[in-house]
Amino acid sequence: MNPSNTDFNWNAVWYVKTGMEDSAWTAEFEIPLSQLRYSGDDEQVWGLHCWRWIDRLQEESDWEPQSSEGPGILYLFGEIHGIRGLPKLRRVEILPYTLGKLKEFKTEPENPFADKGRSWLGNAGVDAKIGLSSNFTADLTVNPDFGQVESDPSVMNLSAFETFYEEKRPFFLEGRNIFSFDFDNTNMFYSRRIGHAPSYTPDVNDNEYVKNPDNTTILSALKISGKTAGGLSVGVLQSITNRELATLRGPGTTRDVAVEPLTSYAIGRIQQDFEEGNSTLGGIVTSTNRFISDPQLNFMNRSAYTGGLDLLHQWNDKEFYVVAKIVGSTITGSADAIGALQSSSARYYQRPDASYLRYDSTRTQLSGYGGSVKVGKGSKGFWRYSTALNWRSPGLDLNDLGFMQTADVIKLENSVSYFVNQPVGIFRTYSIGLSQTSTGDFGIRYLSSSFSTNVYLEFLNKWAFSTSLSCTPQSLDTRILRGGNGMLVPALWAANAYVRTDPSEKAFFDCSSGVTASAHSSSRSFYVQTELSVMPLPTLKLSASVNYSSNLDNLQYVDTKPVNNEKRYILARIRQHSLGAVFRIDYNLTPELSLQYYGSPFASVGRYSLFKEASNLRAADYSDRFSVLDPALKGNTYEVGGGYAATAGYAFGNPDFAFSQFRSILVFRWEYMPGSQVYLVWSHERTVYLQPGDDSVGEAISGLDHVFPNNIFLVKCSYWFTL
């Protein structure tokens, strides 16, 4: 719902100068008409707003007054009259680039792809922005390169669900709010799907070496966006990614194996405003089509189509609102591809206790639906409350071009909060909130409930403190065995706290921490993260953050083993410790010259013990829900002599691990002409994964000193011009 959403990714080419006078700070902007959208009318009226953030006061200054009790960040505009005779512009901007890249890595004399320890690469591409009309613009990129983009954070994910990464590539960031369609942590459009790492890993024969592409090449991408004078906004994005090949070379042989098919991605989004923006009706469609011609890639979906409708209605000066969304998906592919969807962590059709689901190994199509309805009182005034119903059918899947972790869920959410946005006593602002959530599935089974409360306090000295407390009573976890029956898991309590100093000071510090504990001592965890940011000069910002987490869980999934035509689900106690840090330097030598550094060491170590088999999963007594094992460790394998239901033995690998990684990127940027830039980039990475591993997190990080690094040195030059 607008008003509370902002997008700072628009990056137009204009000219600006600032200065200090005796009693004022001034800024002058020269914005070329080519950077603006306007109609062809001879006389025009423009909406305008000027907004300034005053960091030292943590306050804003607005040209058109905005009420602190208004329905959003910005909802009132001023008007400029008397604009006549503006030229009709073609609005064509071209930004070609060239680059050279040197990769350095560990020399492997026997590996023909790494025998020299380095490789060279040259590349070129072009970005363009074309005005199709006074209200619509096309953004085009051919063979884009994002080598100067910051690396993703390191994580160690032990869950069954995919990790979500933020988009950082400029082409997909600009105007992304146009394509936004999300509900309940589910996104219809997740741009990181475009240009992802290849999906297939080829089998390698003895004495054979492989050279894999790092990412799928984006051959081209086209984005059209705009909004008519009648309030109709339109966004269309289409992208083609290349058929990627891995090269395998052995004694006297060389062969190429396809690891990703040629793929087309498309998304269309429309929204129509009514009643001066108080109501909005919209829709979205997405399509993914893979042109699969290689049998080893038949595990991938051939086509995936999703669609959705959304409605927003606000009344009483946007004080109250109702939001309704409905979505659907249909996917086709081989029996292997659809079988993988049915058995994926989003739905687990194979669950024995999910009688309302049926796994079909011959199925070649999967469809589903979902939606949400939310009614509440928005950001106007002090009281805010809402109730929402969300649902996703078992067959819904959005992950070919969207992001969705779980289907087969029905969720009811209620929340109420009291938010005071003006000074009261010692407080600059404060808020108190309560929320409750209940979850079930499409088998009409109750799964869980949770209750939480949170408090936020900001003081007159601009320091702030917040805390939250939540409780989830005993619940039925249908994912814990990753395809097995649902299991009753103990009640869980969680508490979090956050404190920060005055963010307008040259030195800023914040700290967040949290603890969780469950009944029967089945799990407990702790985390703490601190960050210090210092500005020794107005043009130099230094920041460092450190995070540590400790996790003990007696019900960590390990493996599933077939024994005597039945499956054994193995759980264990895990003691996991993770330590990470992020260091940043942002130095603006001049408005045209900048230097940025990002460095992040990370390590996570896990030790498993107290192995057990899941047995009577819904027993009233916690200890009756599993049978304790006493496996014998031989080499790197645990051997089990028998179980609670049979005498046949089985074995599973030692799951202990130690993962450590260091990533950094140093970027020098020179804007030698407006819109034209030169990048000098050094990217550095060291990664170690050991299984089993026996180091502490401190030793795992310090051990990175002995790992040969992968380095990338890149020079990129772009030139901006208009026609």
pLDDT of residue 695: 81
Between CA 640 and CA 651 the distance in angstroms is: 6
pLDDT of residue 7: 67
pLDDT of residue 69: 60
pLDDT of residue 222: 95
Between CA 302 and CA 294 the distance in angstroms is: 12
Between CA 389 and CA 308 the distance in angstroms is: 16
**Has residue 569 got a pLDDT over 80?**
yes
Segment 467-487, tens digit of pLDDT: 999 999 999 999 999 999 999
The answer to whether residue 112 is domain-embedded is no
Q: Tokens representing 690?
A: 């050991």
pLDDT of residue 641: 81
Q: Which of 305, 405, 276 is nearest to 365 (CA)?
A: 305
Positive or negative CA dihedral for 346, 350, 352, 353? positive
Between CA 302 and CA 263 the distance in angstroms is: 9
pLDDT of residue 5: 61
Dihedral angle at the C-alpha atoms of 172, 173, 178, 182, nearest 10 degrees? 90
> Quick check: 283 and 185 in contact, CB under 8 A?
no
CA 520 to centroid of chain Cα atoms:
34
**Has residue 369 got a pLDDT over 90?**
yes
Q: Tokens representing 201?
A: 């890993």
Residue 696: its H or E element: none
Q: Which of 357, 370, 382 is nearest to 410 (CA)?
A: 370
DSSP β-bridge partners for residue 328: 307, 369
The answer to whether residue 51 is domain-embedded is yes
Could you tell me the pTM of the whole model? 0.90
Mean pLDDT value across residues 341-349: 95
The answer to whether residue 297 is domain-embedded is no
pLDDT of residue 72: 59
Segment 650-663, tens digit of pLDDT: 899 999 999 999 99
The answer to whether residue 422 is domain-embedded is no
Segment 228-267, tens digit of pLDDT: 888 899 999 999 999 999 999 988 889 999 999 999 999 9
The answer to whether residue 25 is domain-embedded is yes
pLDDT of residue 575: 96
Residue 172: its H or E element: helix 170-173
Segment 581-592, tens digit of pLDDT: 999 999 999 989
Residue 206's alpha-carbon distances to 176, 209, 249, 271, 601, in angstroms, are 47, 9, 11, 57, 34
Segment 52-106, tens digit of pLDDT: 888 777 788 888 777 666 655 666 778 888 888 888 777 889 999 999 999 999 9
Q: How many CB atoms lie within 10 A of CB 699?
A: 14
Mean pLDDT value across residues 160-176: 87
pLDDT of residue 491: 97
What 8-state DSSP symbol labels residue 188?
S
The answer to whether residue 136 is domain-embedded is no
What 8-state DSSP symbol labels residue 699?
H
**DSSP 3-state of 576:** strand
Which structural domain range is residue 25 located in?
15-31+41-84
- Peptide bond before 295: cis, by omega within 30 degrees of 0? no
pLDDT of residue 21: 83
Residue scoring higher pLDDT (20 or 510): 510
**DSSP 3-state of 373:** strand
Mean pLDDT value across residues 492-508: 95
Q: Tokens representing 94?
A: 């071209």
Q: Which of 143, 140, 101, 139 is nearest to 124 (CA)?
A: 143
| Sequential DSSP letters for 270-338 | EEEEETTTTEEEEEEEEEEEEE--SGGGTTS-SEEEEEEEEEEEEETTTTEEEEEEEEEEEEE--HHHH
Q: Tokens representing 65?
A: 């007054």
**Has residue 434 got a pLDDT over 50?**
yes
The answer to whether residue 72 is domain-embedded is yes
DSSP β-bridge partners for residue 52: 61
**DSSP 3-state of 177:** helix
> Quick check: 487 and 477 in contact, CB under 8 A?
yes
| Sequential DSSP letters for 471-539 | EE-SEEESSTTSSS--EEE--EEEEEEEEE--TTSSEEEEEEEEEEEEGGG-EEEEEEEEEEEEEEETT
Between CA 553 and CA 606 the distance in angstroms is: 11
The answer to whether residue 585 is domain-embedded is no
Segment 596-615, tens digit of pLDDT: 999 999 999 999 999 999 99
- Peptide bond before 692: cis, by omega within 30 degrees of 0? yes
DSSP β-bridge partners for residue 634: 637
> Quick check: 155 and 687 in contact, CB under 8 A?
no
Please report where in the chains the tokens 């100068």 appear, as a residue: 17
**DSSP 3-state of 173:** helix
Average per-residue pLDDT for the chain: 91
Please give the tally of structural domains in the chain. 1
